[in-house]
Structure 1
Amino acid sequence: MKTSRYIFIIPLLLIRLVAVAQSLKPTDEVRDKIQQVEKNLVGRVQIEGEGPWTIQERMALYKVPGLSIAVIHNYKIEWTKSYGWADVDQKIPVTDNTLFQAASLSKSLNAVGVLKLAQEHRLDLDKDINDYLVSWKFPYDSVSKGKKITAKNLLSHTAGLNVHGFKGYTNGTAIPTVVQVLNGSKPANSEAIHSMTEPGLRSEYSGGGTTISQLVVVDITHEPYDQFMKREVLKPLGMIASTFSQPPAEIKPTLLATGYRVDGKEVPGKYNVYPEEAAAGLWTNPTDLSKYIIETQLAYEGRSSKVLDQATTQLRLTPYLNKVAALGVFINDFNGLKYFGHSGSNEGFVCQYNGSLEGGNGLVIMVNSDNGAIIAEISNSIAKVYQLKGLYRSKVFKPIAVDAAVLQSYIGKYELKQDLMMTIVLEGNQLYSLVNDEHKRAITPETQSKFFFKEDGSEIEFIKNDKMEVEKIAFFQGSILEAKKIK
């Protein structure tokens, strides 16, 4: 009887495997779109007459060893494709199964886990976090002005807390506990988490706050964070290749991408370890992240509820204090067309995802390099090929010549705000901008008085007084910031 049973089972398994393989095989139309995406890369700024470029050309320019892409169309993964090396020295290629560090994309999945507890009435999102913290308590002081921090504050970066991000720890060295991280005690390499402003005042990005939410989950569930997230979030979403474990000891080393610096050198130990799992600890790939995006889109419309129901999903995707920061995600509104998304950057890894709130479209891009410039270029290419309105963000500039005497008149120091100074220097015929004497960047003239940054399209305009003397600059980057010339 056993033999005959397996005779029936094996053909059924083979049929299913063949069906899956056929469903993943791209059609001629999709293959054509892939080829278009691969050869139409442009950045946030296009210099007239330059580009577009191919993925291979930009990988070589930016010294990006490997990358992986997923494109979502009509609530389905339309295609995935990987390029380059997961490990250069060992000649391990990136495949669709290769896992990258998701860095701050982890915060999006963390929010799903926290809201799952709220959905089950094990956590009140509007109550003081100290009502749930057991192994550590937040040290309120006079800065918080008597206001209590809630889980909504932590997830929306409105808790008024410090520590933007984390450096991680070299693989194989001493790793602090979460409590040591929160206290800033050795071997932690970040400062203690404390109030910078009262909660609910404004949105101020804080990986420190997200790490507190990690401990909230642990103290409520009485189990390791990575195990809770695997069982309650990753597995139900179908993200079976992903893990929050730090380090990911259960994953084959050949499946883990090695991180690389901007100059192409390998991160010591191949990758850093992040005990701040909720803020930066997820290992995943574009395929698994696409499953999370699609489920979010379907749950938002009330068509699925693998982890969160419609009401909880809509709450998660609703900006909390401003128009952008929601719970674990950021919402971008492009003339009524909204996307939820997040970017991430760990040592040796950069990534980005976006999902539309309507129509079931999206993209995921992950690279094993500190240089993330290629991500914006690939995103633009995908947006152009798939006509994803709002996600295509590129502006064409035509540089002009400016007389040396005019350039000379722009040299000086400009005060953007207290303790934030922009310095303009001239080297040969090229103007450069430095902020607090760091981050030297070239600025290119588009008019006699207006210049732009090639990296992101932000602009600087030099403004003169009645005596035709430069008295201030206007810095354009989403909003306008004026800075008076002080030297």
Structure 2
Amino acid sequence: MKNTVKAYLGSLKATTQKSYELTTCLVLFFSVFSFNISLAQSTVEDRIKQVENGLTENIQTGDSAAANLLERMKHFKVQGLSIAVIKDYKVDFAKGYGFADPEKKIPVTDKTLFQAASISKSLNSLAILKLFKNRKLDLYADINTYLKSWKFPYDSISKGKKINMANLLSHTAGLNVHGFAGYEAGKPLPSVIQILNGESPANSDAVHSLFPPGSRQEYSGGGTTISQLVLTDVTGEKYENYLRDQVLKPLGMLSSTFAHPPTGISQSLLSAGFDGDGKEVKGKYHIYPEQAAAGLWTNPTDLAKYIIETQLAYQGKSAKVLDEETTKLRLSPYMNKNGAALGVFVEDYNGVKYFGHGAGNAGFTGGYYGSFEGGNGLIVMVNSDNGEIVQELINSISTVYGFKGLSKTKKVTLAEVSDQDLDRYLGNYQLTPELVLTVSREGKRVFVQATGQPRIEAFPESNNKFFFKTIQASMEFVKDQNGLIKELIFIQGRTIHAKRL
């Protein structure tokens, strides 16, 4: 997982507002009606071409235009990617682009396997919920009831409150360890217990409490790894075997595996991973013994089977793994109306709801969305640390297919800011105890850089307000009564008042 300002400060969920005046509703009705006719009359080839030529940044200025997929891959130094689009509960198309292994000239196809990274958590939750459905564990009981080979070390921080399985799956257990770095191929691998204890050769901290369970949501791959141990302690089976037999096979995900390393699969089907500069990960990819949190190898075609089955089960029309009741429980946010459910995140755009999950392992990024109603969805998997192209593809796919709410693109007119004001903004601002944000400029261009992070450009929305194209965030410079800058207000998921140093 990448430790970026974006990851540190959280993601800003886009919201939209509607006018419900009669004239606006009529215009909206006829435009949607025309769009649906257009989509129905277009061929798959037409839709693929539109997706490939419709990539847009989240923020578009006056001179911005839709871009071609291959051009954006080159711009972001992405070697290869694969996508699938679901329409009316069926895969409308699945296609690969670029190379899985440029050195060997192995292209990405719809069969190429990528590391699914945190998407693994979604499939893990199916396995845990199946144990719950079969009455082999209680989602709301103390996890130590089921842990046999290791016990969670409760301390005073948890304030006597016990962690349950629903807490682990919804990131409300109050635990640390956001994500995992993985292990270079051929290097010693730790056991799950060594990972949880932070013991060599594990390369992550011991998993422990940060605050009482149920207090708030805090993403924790460490918590998901505890659920992995619960599953193996309860079933007595290897994790990859149980997931293969009880989840992947019933879903028809026959090309996918949780095995680490991925044995029994042709190397030509495994994509190598690459860093943000397009350089191959040493050993081609890392190994993740944290299987539930990050260990799945799959492709968009297989993931589409999982999404479609979830949609059908939610409607009570299928039950290959979970029935309707358990599926609805799984897709219900555990603490909030929006946010983390059990192994998935739920987003609601004015009544159009999606379940989904993002992905980020060393050398791999991606994400998926599935609609609650209508049988629509998309999957994007990229063999690069640079995941900026993921949202641009989502913007394009959702625009072409009319997937309401998923496109984050908006038009913004740039403001003119005087050199005098730009000079006033330069300096260092204390974002958090660990992070200082440095503001600099080159001519009229303004840049910010957080401690240990890449420099990114900021664009003026007004004289003192700026936005970013590469992250969903904004910042505002605040003057005191003498006209001097006293603080910077940084908004990205939450609001930070950063004092000037």
TM-score range, shorter chain: over 0.9
When the two structures are superposed, what TM-score results if normalisation uses the length of structure 1?
Answer: 0.92
CA distance in 2: counterparts of 1:456 and 1:436, whole angstroms: 16
Residue of structure 2 in register with 1:157 after alignment: 171
Which of 198, 203, 211 is the matching residue for 1:197? 211
Amino acid at match of 2:378: L
1:210 alignment partner in structure 2: 224
Deviation per residue, 1:312-345 (Å, 9 max, x gap): 1001100011221100000011111110000000
- Asked if 1:381 is matched to 2:396, the reply is yes
Which string of whole-angstrom CA distances, capped at 9 and with x for unpartnered residues, describes residues 416-471 of structure 1?
A: 44444433233444322223353422211122111111102421111223322222
In 2, are the aligned partners of 1:66 and 1:86 still within 8 Å (CA)? Answer: yes
Q: What whole-Å deviation, never above 9, does each CA across 1:162-219 have from its counterpart, x for those lacking one?
A: 1000000001111111111111111100011111111110100000000000000000
> Does structure 2 conserve the Cα–Cα contact (< 8 Å) formed by 1:414 and 1:483?
no
Q: 1:471 aligns to what?
A: 486
Matched, 1:68 2:97: no
1:99, CA displacement in angstroms?
Answer: 0.4
Corresponding residue for residue 40 of structure 1: 54
Once residues 324 and 109 of structure 1 are traced to their aligned partners in structure 2, the CA distance between those partners, rounded to angstroms, is 18
Q: CA deviation at 1:478?
A: 4.1
Aligned partner letter, 1:51: A
Aligned match of 2:21:
none
CA separation of 1:366 and 1:484: change in aligned 2, threshold 3 A: closer
Q: 2:283 is matched by which residue type in structure 1?
A: G
Residue 46 of structure 1: how far off its partner (Å): 1.3
CA distance in 1, matches of 2:84, 2:187: 34
Is the deviation greater in 465-474 or in 313-322?
465-474
- Whole-angstrom distance in 2 between the partners of 1:456 and 1:44: 8
Q: What is the aligned partner in structure 1 of residue 333 from structure 2?
A: 319
Distance 2:61 2:443 in 1: 21
Determine if contact 2:485/2:500 at 8 Å carries over to the other structure.
no
One-letter amino acid of the counterpart of residue 106, structure 1: S
Contact in 2 for aligned 1:86/1:93 (Cα 8 Å) = yes
With 237-246 and 425-434 compared, the bigger mean Cα shift is at 425-434
Q: Which runs of 5+ in 1 are unaligned?
A: 1-25
2 CA distance for matches of 1:103 and 1:328? 13
- Aligned residue type for 2:398: A
Q: Contact 1:37/1:385 (CA < 8 Å) preserved in 2?
A: yes
1:87 aligns with 2:132: no
SS at match of 1:162: coil
Instruction: Identify the range of structure 1 (74-83 vs 415-424) with the bigger mean alpha-carbon deviation.
Output: 415-424
Aligned residues: 461
Q: Which residue of 2 aligns with 1:107?
A: 121
TM-score of the aligned structures, taking structure 2 as reference length: 0.90
Q: Which digits, 9 at most, give the CA deviation of each residue in 1:218-247, with x for residues without a partner?
A: 000001000000000000001010000010
Shift of 1:398: 2.5
> Greater Rg, structure 1 or structure 2?
1
Contact 1:341–1:354 (CA<8 Å) still a contact in 2? yes
Structure 1 residue aligned with 2:323: 309
Asked if the contact 2:488–2:500 (Cα under 8 Å) also holds between the matched residues in 1, the reply is no
Q: Which residue of 1 aligns with 2:437?
A: 422
Runs of 4+ in structure 1 over 6 Å off = none
Q: Which amino acid aligns with 2:171?
A: H
- Counterpart CA distance in 2 for 1:248 and 1:314 is 32
In structure 2, the residue matched to 1:5 is none
Alpha-carbon offset, residue 374 of structure 1: 0.8
Q: Which residue of 2 aligns with 1:6?
A: none
**1:355-395 per-position Cα deviation (integer Å, ceiling 9, x unaligned):** 00111100001011111111111111011101111011112
Aligned partner of 2:197: which letter? N
SS in 2 for 1:431: strand
CA contact (8 A) 2:431 2:499 kept: no
Matches within 5 A, 1:107-146: 107-146=121-160
Q: CA deviation at 1:73?
A: 0.4
Amino acid in structure 2 at the alignment position of 1:221: T
The sequence identity of aligned pairs, in percent, is 54
Deviations 1:72-100 (A, max 9, x none): 00111111111111100001111111100
